[in-house]
């Protein structure tokens, strides 16, 4: 081989190598990007998980400390019966708060882990709504509120009645608890375009626009009423788990949450 031919060959091989390397790098680049994005997502999830545990522990700590305080006060033998009764009332309030919180936390973590089992069966949505609404009679009377039902007949659907009832309870509880006394609550059912919906409407003060996209986040509470902020997070996760969704529309004097499910 002459010197010139050798040089050309070396140059060719060199260029080939560079091109080959460049092509391989081009092919690998998207994969590396995906890996990078994946690890960023994992890091974000890890931060979210840590945040969740920190907030949950804080929420649990508050009633436990409060219970400890009341138990200490109750140990005093000289307490008069009225004060003792008042303290015992606080104890049972805190116990109820702990019970609700532990059930809610368990539900939410099961939902997020995809481990919540649904038991679908044929259900009359009207009947189910009526029976959930009836549970609220004492709470309605205590808040001087009214609940009206506008139910369509023959609303048989296949769904898990326990979980649909749970969503309705969360929505009615909010319509009652996050509004002033004397509120009017309207619960209605409807069917359109292959979907069924249950709406819970109230004529309370409404939810400020800037809060509307946060109310479904776990632990988000928008007002001074004492709740853990888990209700709507659970309700929307449950709705999605049932291939449905939860919507909200609110303005001063009117708030409507709607559960939409496949017919
Ligand atoms: N019908 C409503 N009217 C006004 N504000 C509402 C209504 N429903 C929900 N909200 C707002 O949305 C927030 C989140 O509701 P969510 O049910 O998730 O939590 P919570 O009721 O505060 O606590 P929890 O349900 O865990 O006891 C509430 O704190 C409240 O500010
Ligand atoms: Mg709530």
- Say how many Å lie between the CA of residue 174 and the centre of ligand 2: 5
Confidence class of residue 20 from pLDDT cuts 50, 70 and 90?
confident
Whole-angstrom Cα distance, residue 219 to residue 233?
8
Ligand minimally distant from the alpha carbon of residue 100 = 1
Residue 103, token pair as written in the block: 């059930």
Beta strand spans in 34-110 (E): none
From atom 20 of ligand 1, which residue's Cα is the shortest distance away?
229
pLDDT tens digits, one per residue of 169-188: 999 999 999 999 999 999 99
Residue 14, token pair as written in the block: 């060199």
What atom in ligand 1 is closest to the CA of residue 204?
3
Distance of CA 65 to the CA centre of its chain: 26
pLDDT tens digits, one per residue of 45-104: 888 888 888 889 989 998 999 999 999 999 999 999 999 999 999 999 999 999 999 999
Which structural domains are found in the chain, ordered by start? 1-116 (1.10.287.130), 121-262 (3.30.565.10)
C-beta 244 within 6 A of ligand 1 = no
Whole-angstrom Cα distance, residue 53 to residue 61?
12
Residue 156, beta-bridge partner list:
124
Cα dihedral across residues 134, 135, 141, 145: positive or negative:
negative
Residue 233: burial class (beta carbons within 10 Å; 0-12, 13-18, 19+):
buried
Closest CA to 156 of 133, 187, 122: 122
pLDDT of residue 1: 60
∠161-165-169 over CA atoms, to 5°? Answer: 175
Closest CA to 187 of 217, 157, 150: 150
C-beta 185 within 6 A of ligand 1 = no
Ligand minimally distant from the alpha carbon of residue 175 = 1
Are 70 and 46 in contact by the 8 Å Cβ rule? The answer is no
pLDDT tens digits, one per residue of 193-242: 899 999 999 999 999 999 999 999 999 999 988 899 999 999 999 999 99
Strands 156-159, 121-124: parallel, antiparallel or unpaired by DSSP? antiparallel
What is the arithmetic mean of pLDDT over 248-255? 97
Q: Say which residue the tokens 């390397």 belong to.
A: 21
Whole-angstrom Cα distance, residue 218 to residue 230?
5
Lowest mean pLDDT across 12-16, 153-157, 222-226: 12-16
Distance of CA 147 to the CA centre of its chain: 24
Exposure of 199 in the CB half-sphere (CA atoms within 13 A): 17
Residue 238: burial class (beta carbons within 10 Å; 0-12, 13-18, 19+):
buried
Q: Is 80 exceeded by the pLDDT of residue 14?
A: no
């Amino acid at each position: 081989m002459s010197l010139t031919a050798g040089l050309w060959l070396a140059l060719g091989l060199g260029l080939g190598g560079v091109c080959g390397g460049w092509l391989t790098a081009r092919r690998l680049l998207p994969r590396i990007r995906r890996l990078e994005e994946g690890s960023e997502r994992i890091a974000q999830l890890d931060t979210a998980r840590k945040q969740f545990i920190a907030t949950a522990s804080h929420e649990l700590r508050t009633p436990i400390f409060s219970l400890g305080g009341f138990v200490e006060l109750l140990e005093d033998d000289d307490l008069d019966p009225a004060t003792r009764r008042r303290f015992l009332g606080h104890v049972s309030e805190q116990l109820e708060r702990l019970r609700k919180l532990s059930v809610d936390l368990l539900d939410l973590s099961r939902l997020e882990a995809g481990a919540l089992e649904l038991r679908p069966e044929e259900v009359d949505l009207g009947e189910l709504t009526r029976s959930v609404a009836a549970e609220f009679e004492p709470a309605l009377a205590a808040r001087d509120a009214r609940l009206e039902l506008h139910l369509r007949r023959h609303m048989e659907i296949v769904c898990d009645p326990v979980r649909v009832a749970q969503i309705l309870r969360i929505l009615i509880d909010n319509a009652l608890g996050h509004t002033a006394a004397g509120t009017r609550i309207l619960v209605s059912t409807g069917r359109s375009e292959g979907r069924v919906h249950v709406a819970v409407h109230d004529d309370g003060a409404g939810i400020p626009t800037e809060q509307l996209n946060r109310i479904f986040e776990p632990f988000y509470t928008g007002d001074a009423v004492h709740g853990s902020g888990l209700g709507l997070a659970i309700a929307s996760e449950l709705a999605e788990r049932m291939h449905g969704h939860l919507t909200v529309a609110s303005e001063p004097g009117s708030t409507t949450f709607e559960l939409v499910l496949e017919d």
